Structure 1
Amino acid sequence: MYPEIALASASPRRRELLQQIAVSFSLVQVNVDERHLGNESPQVYVARLANAKALAGAEKIKFSVPVMGADTIVVVDQHILGKPVDQADFSRMMQLLSGRCHQVMTAVALVGQHRTDDCCVITEVCFRELSAADITAYWQTGEPLDKAGGYGIQGQGGRFVSHISGSYSAVVGLPLCETDLLLRNWQEQA
């Protein structure tokens, strides 16, 4: 049903999501400069990173199979919230997200020797009001360290989410519906 692919991602969540829809894949390690260019909108930025990761993976394995790259960012007031660098940075992020809605953007790219397909999914996520105690207790779990925006909806951070509008799996790291369509389309046009 799906083509054999390589995944250019270190995210265990993306691996689990691909396994959930029965995609056969190998892993390829890539190192891509993830700095934001000052003139990029958040959507252009996340799409550029997904494509850069997929292309770097494809080049590394000499285009032997299509390579999937993905990236997820959290955006509030058009500002991108990356992974927290320390507790103060994390607390600042949580205070920005507390009691309001933000966007989670996940881009997925599939790169082959003569072809590139990609998509970007935007989901609105709303947080309840967070107390200082909520923020401190969540930091102490260790979960926020490697998460864009400082939280994982699929983990303990999910308790802060009052509602979402869009793709839950995209917030986790890979939009399953759009990924399924991307892979089916690739296979049909191969």
Structure 2
Amino acid sequence: MIDSFLTSYKIILASNSPRRKQFLTDLKIPFEVKTANIDEVYPDHLVKGEITDYLAKLKAAPLEKDLKDNQILITSDTIVWHNDTALGKPVNEAEAFSMLSNLSGTNHQVISSVCLTTKKQQLVESVTTEVTFKDLTPEEINYYIANYQPFDKAGAYGIQEWIGYIGITSIAGSYNNVVGLPTAKFYELLKKLV
């Protein structure tokens, strides 16, 4: 089982995301956080999960050279894919408003990749969830941005926050994936390293 495996390995989470930290805590997986600053830039020809796979591996690159035999490095990346465009994190209120206005009344995909890196191998896979927003009013969008400051979230929203409660009419796929870590896929990849 995974418990005996986790006593043999040290888990390093290369993320400052409070949501990813909470998921690992809830999974009862002990971990330490270690991050490196990288420019999250990817080649223009990449689409959908190719983008998140590339960025998840990019986040691992500066840290993997220092990995010890008993360490597993976890990196992840999430984008919102809408109208053939990747939406990352908004840089300001105007961009957040624009993103949410464009998502209003439409379907989009939330794509997250999880990457597990050891000294000997690297596993990376992406998960896609379909999300539908109702028609959001400008007042609802402004209220959400002012009160929740969603500048650290792809697509300018957190499904677990007020906008998700009042605005999301349906999802098809993993809820946790939309929050920021496809936990079922993560667990599956972790077991492959055993």
TM-score normalised per structure 2: 0.91
Q: Give the letter aligned to residue 30 of structure 1.
A: A
Alignment partner of 1:141: what SS?
Answer: helix
Q: Look up the match of 2:39.
A: 33
Count of residue pairs the alignment pairs up: 187
Deviations 1:133-188 (A, max 9, x none): 1111111113312111000001122121111000000111111111111111112x
Q: Look up the match of 1:101.
A: 107
List aligned pairs for 1:46-125, cutoff 5 A: 46-61=52-67, 65-125=71-131
Instruction: List, as ranges, runs of 4+ consecutive aligned residues in structure 1 with deviation greater than 6 Å.
Output: none
Alignment partner of 2:16: what SS?
Answer: coil
* Larger deviation, residues 35-44 vs 145-154: 35-44
How many Å separate the matches in 2 of 1:6 and 1:172?
20
Q: Select 2:142's aligned residue among 126, 129, 136.
A: 136
Quote the offset at 1:61 in angstroms: 4.3
The yes-or-no answer on 1:173 pairing with 2:164 is no
Q: Give the letter aligned to residue 183 of structure 1.
A: L
Q: Select 2:13's aligned residue among 7, 10, 13.
A: 7
TM-score normalised per structure 1: 0.93
| Equivalent residues of 1:93, 1:149 under 8 A apart | yes
Aligned residues: CA RMSD: 1.4
Deviations 1:11-41 (A, max 9, x none): 0100101111111211111112202321111
Percent identity for Structure 1 against Structure 2: 35
Quote the offset at 1:57 in angstroms: 2.4
Unaligned runs of 5+ in 1: none
Quote the offset at 1:69 in angstroms: 0.3
Unaligned runs of 5+ in 2: none
